[in-house]
Amino acid sequence: MAPPPPAVVPAPFAFADFTWLNGGGRQKEAILDTKYFTGEFRADVNYVYDFNHPKDHTLVGSSELGRTNEIHVQQLGIGGDFHWENVRGRIMTQFGLYSTMTPRNDASPTKGQWQTDNAYRYISEAYGGYHWDAMNGINLDAGIFMSYVGLFSYYNFDNWAYQPSYVSSNTPWFFNGLRLQVFPSDKLKFELWVTNGWQSYNMFNNTPGIGGNVTWSPNGNVRVISNNYFLGADTLGNQKRTRRHTDNSIEWKYWDQPDHFLSKMATTFTFDLGDEQGGGVSRSGTPTEPKQYFAGWMLYNRFWFAHDRHALTIGGGAISNPGRYLVLVPPINGATAASGTPYFTANPGDPYHAWDWSATYDYMPNQWITFRGEFNRRGANVPYFAGSGGVTPPGGNQGAPGSVVQDWAPDLRKLESRLTFALLVKF
């Protein structure tokens, strides 16, 4: 008698339709698929109308948008996934504003040689790995991979909103290092990360970043995610200062009636806590070591209509970040994360509190394209957003990036309102 065929192990998270998730994408099939390679194409083009009307067209404080009152290619990516005999690999390019904005927010390339910000700027994901047929799967990958700390995806097509709240926008989009994924069942995933640091191409000092993820879906209507950064030394030139961070989300689809005009409803809640300690700062604050922590939350609710062809998302959130170590440096006079600027300091204990809310409408005639319109209102306790005078000196940037220009100061405001219109494509 022939032995029975081996049992088929369920693929992870394939037991239900999870295309409703924020950050996960809504496509149900891949059209560029072969036995060896699954291709992917992404295009993200936007127009931003800023009610502050900055004369230099510069948007401050967003990792997703950089220019206002102009049409721009935010991201264009071509790549996909290789798969053959348990060997796996992924490549995704990034052209457009992402290729300058993302490296600009990483200070680590200033340590050492070889200009890694230039070497990596046109790549959003690049890794190779191996899959073991154990439990429900084990993967080991090495290279640049997405972090998804903060719930939202780096790619706006996959998200419920274009501009995520600060908890997502100010936390890592990618890691450069090693990732081990273990699937004990088709409903549970564990990840371990050993990386060069907190969204960094290089190490800031001599300590790697250590982190991990737990993802659990007990059924097709719930997703629970916990991302944790256990330890890193991510302040350039300060080896004694260490960082920790926890990011936790729940996504819940509480209405699913495909034949009704209101076809779906779902909500997400995310909260983050983190701190830095040592090297002149502490979590709670002392007379000699100011407090340095990150606390934030965001809440979104999405409504789908007319067989999921239309959707409305309302949400927002708030953060508190004394020391401003996760606040995006305004690009005043060409300032970068490495240069900083005296016009917006990031000294130990410097206060920063911010809030935002948004309303997003999506028209999705099919699963390959989204037409998006969004209103955002953002505020901070200190002047931060670009006002009508902009953040660029007359005649252009002068001197060293971020440096003081005589008889000039940037126009920074505490409030910002804007409209974003985007065309998003994914194959």
Model pLDDT, residue 83 = 96
> What are the residues facing 185 on neighbouring strands?
188
- CATH number of the domain to which 72 belongs: 2.40.160.10
Question: Do strands 293-305 and 385-386 pair parallel, antiparallel, or not at all (unpaired)?
Answer: unpaired
Q: Is residue 22 part of a domain?
A: no
Model pLDDT, residue 30 = 86
Taking the chain, what is the end-to-end CA distance rounded to the nearest angstrom? 47
Helices (H), 178-265: none
Q: Is residue 29 part of a domain?
A: no
DSSP E strand stretches across 196-328: 209-216, 222-232, 242-256, 262-277, 293-305, 310-320
**Confidence (pTM):** 0.94
Domain encompassing residue 153: 37-426
pLDDT band at 3 (very low <50, low <70, confident <90, very high): low
List all residues 6 or more positions away from 366 whose beta carbon is below 8 Å from its beta carbon: none
Express each pLDDT in 109-164 by its tens digit.
999 999 999 999 999 999 999 999 999 999 999 999 999 899 999 999 999 999 99
Number of domains in the chain: 1
Q: How many angstroms separate the CA atoms of 228 and 209, rounded?
A: 11
- The amino acid that residue 60 corresponds to is V
Q: Is residue 162 part of a domain?
A: yes
In the predicted structure, residue 190 carries a pLDDT above the cut 70: yes
Q: Is residue 272 part of a domain?
A: yes
Q: Is residue 109 part of a domain?
A: yes
Express each pLDDT in 75-91 by its tens digit.
999 999 999 999 999 99
Q: Is residue 18 part of a domain?
A: no
DSSP letters, 316-375, are EEEEE-TT-TTSPPP-GGG--TTT-BTTB---TT---EEEEEEEEEEEEEETTEEEEEEE
The count of other CB atoms within 10 Å of the CB of residue 394 is: 11
Q: Is residue 20 part of a domain?
A: no
Q: For the chain, give the percent of residues with pLDDT over 90.
A: 93
Q: How many angstroms separate the CA atoms of 415 and 379, rounded?
A: 4
SS3 of residue 108 by DSSP: helix
Q: Is residue 312 part of a domain?
A: yes
Query: Is the separation of the CB atoms in 251 and 244 below 8 Å?
Result: no
Tell me the two tokens of residue 367: 């699963």
